[in-house]
Amino acid sequence: MLNKLNPWKKDPSPSDFQERLLKIKEHQVPAHIAIIMDGNGRWASKRALPRVAGHHEGMKVVRKITKLANELGIKTLTVYAFSTENWKRPKLEVDFLMKLPEEFLGTFLPELVEENVRVEMIGYMDKLPEHTRKAVEKAMDDTKDNTGLVLNFALNYGSRAEILDGVKRVIEDVRTGKISEDDLTEDAFSSYLMTREMNDPDLLIRTSGEIRLSNFMLWQLAYTEFWFTDVLWPDFNEEHLIEAIEAFQGRQRRFGGV
């Protein structure tokens, strides 16, 4: 059967999961995976549940995928948990989404600490409700010395705003002589973005069949490999992550060269 969104790639036969895992580890795994976790609302609607039930189920998937990504030696996992545009959603849904980081970290932080995972965040933290901000800050602080996977939450994140803010700070730094126009290389500009501490994603995954970027890491995704799936985020599992990494390992990255 042909995969609808990746027609060049046949759906994998259901071979043994462990075998595929070992095979993946023999090759280079993507150092940074970014995920647009889409389809929570549709997952819930299909089950006649409120949309927030989909978000709650989606939260548990983040835990599963973090664990496997860490085991695979992936360095950074960025998950798009809330965009600067998501404030337009009904208040009940926004309030629920703002409570999820607390619930996630309240439940799983001890395990993340145990597994040497470091929690990070990109996004406009100062505009988050205090309870959300405090939960994320505590997790970042409790895990700051960990050296395993970086679990990076994009929370109240918007890429255009991020780039525009970067440009404004560059203008200020040129004005005050901190940087000259000639020194403003792509690398130098990257250091004005929220992702300044991390490499660009190697692999972007978007679930639920939507094929767009939704204002996510527009600068950082310039040379990233994209992988789309019809699977709704709450249904996404370890096997899907393996499938995405297998697809990535089959790609030839040329970064504009030949």
Alpha helices in the chain (DSSP H): 17-26, 40-46, 51-71, 91-114, 130-142, 159-175, 186-190, 238-249
> Is the Cβ of residue 12 or residue 106 nearer to ligand FPP in the bound state?
106
Residue 31's identity, in one-letter code, is A
> Is the Cβ of residue 32 or residue 56 nearer to ligand FPP in the bound state?
56
Q: Is 104 in the site for ligand FPP (CB under 6 A)?
A: yes
Helix axes 17-26, 238-249, angle to 10 degrees: 40
Q: In what order do the strands lie in the sheet with 225-228?
A: 118-122, 150-157, 76-83, 32-36, 203-206, 225-228
CB 232 within 8 A of CB 208: yes
d(CA 31, CA 201) in angstroms, rounded, equals: 7
According to CB under 6 A, which one of 65, 68, 72, 101 is a site residue for ligand FPP?
A: 101
Shortest Å distance, C-beta 223 to ligand FPP: 25
Residue carrying the six token digits 């100062």? 126
CB 258 within 8 A of CB 33: no
Contact segment (CB under 6 A) with ligand FPP among 6-14, 39-47, 116-124, 181-189 equals 39-47
Shortest Å distance, C-beta 1 to ligand FPP: 24
Q: Is 37 in the site for ligand FPP (CB under 6 A)?
A: yes
38 counts as catalytic: yes
Q: Is 131 annotated as a binding residue?
A: no
Q: Is 51 annotated as a binding residue?
A: yes
> Is the Cβ of residue 38 or residue 202 nearer to ligand FPP in the bound state?
38
CB 148 within 8 A of CB 171: no
**Which of 214, 204, 209, 213 has its CA nearest to residue 235?**
209
Q: Which residues pair with 118 in a beta bridge?
A: 150
Q: Is 27 annotated as a binding residue?
A: no
According to CB under 6 A, which one of 29, 72, 81, 247 is a site residue for ligand FPP?
A: 81
Segment 113-142, which members bind ligand FPP (CB under 6 A)? none
Q: Is 195 in the site for ligand FPP (CB under 6 A)?
A: no
According to CB under 6 A, which one of 70, 78, 86, 224 is a site residue for ligand FPP?
A: 86
What is the token pair recorded at 227? 């992988």
Count the site residues for ligand FPP by CB under 6 A: 18
Segment 40-69, which members bind ligand FPP (CB under 6 A)? 40-42, 55, 58-59, 62
Selecting among 70, 86, 152, 156, the annotated active-site residue is 86
Selecting among 3, 6, 16, 38, the annotated active-site residue is 38
d(CA 32, CA 23) in angstroms, rounded, equals: 19
Q: Give the residues lining the site for ligand FPP (CB under 6 A).
A: 37-42, 55, 58-59, 62, 81, 86, 97, 100-101, 104, 208, 233
Report the catalytic residues.
Answer: 38, 86
> Which residues are annotated as part of the binding site for Mg(2+)?
38, 225
